[in-house]
Amino acid sequence: MNRKTFLQGLACAALSRFSASSLAPAGNGLNDKADRHPIGRPKKPRAISMWEFSWIERRWDGAGYEDWDRALDELVERGYNAVRIDPFPHLLASDAHKTWTLLPEWNTQVWGSPDVNRIVLLPALFEFIGKCRARGIMVGLSTWYRQDDANTRMTITGPDVMAAYWVKTLDMIAGAGLLDTILYTDLCNEWPGDAWAPFMKPHLNFGEWDHPASLSFMHRTIALVRAHYPKMPLFFSCSSDRVENYLEQDLSDFDLLDPHVWMAQENDGEFYKLTGYAYERFDPKGYTNLSLKAEPTYRTRPQYWQDLLARKIDRLAMVGNKLSKPLVTTECWAIVDYKDWPLLKWDWVKDLCTLGAQRAASSGQWLAIASSNFCGPQFVGMWRDKAWHQNMTRAIKSASISPALRQGRLYDRI
Domain ranges of the chain: 43-413
Confidence of residue 20 (pLDDT cuts 50, 70, 90): very low
Tell me how far apart the alpha carbons of residues 359 and 354 are, in angstroms, rounded to a whole number.
8
Tell me how far apart the alpha carbons of residues 266 and 309 are, in angstroms, rounded to a whole number.
7
Residue type, 214: S
Tell me how far apart the alpha carbons of residues 320 and 246 are, in angstroms, rounded to a whole number.
9
How many H helices and E strands in the chain? Answer: 14, 11
Predicted confidence (pLDDT) per residue in 270-327, tens digit: 999 999 999 999 999 999 999 999 999 999 999 999 999 999 999 999 999 999 999 9
DSSP label of 186: E
CATH number assigned to the domain covering 43-413: 3.20.20.80
Confidence of residue 8 (pLDDT cuts 50, 70, 90): very low
**Residue 173, SS3 per DSSP:** helix
- For residues 61 and 70, is the Cβ–Cβ distance under 8 A? no
Residue 241, pLDDT score: 76
Tell me how far apart the alpha carbons of residues 377 and 66 are, in angstroms, rounded to a whole number.
10
**% of the chain at pLDDT higher than 70:** 90
Residue 240, pLDDT score: 75
Vertex 374, ends 346 and 327: CA angle to 5°? Answer: 120
Confidence of residue 186 (pLDDT cuts 50, 70, 90): very high
Residue type, 176: A
CA quadruple 163, 165, 167, 170: dihedral sign: negative
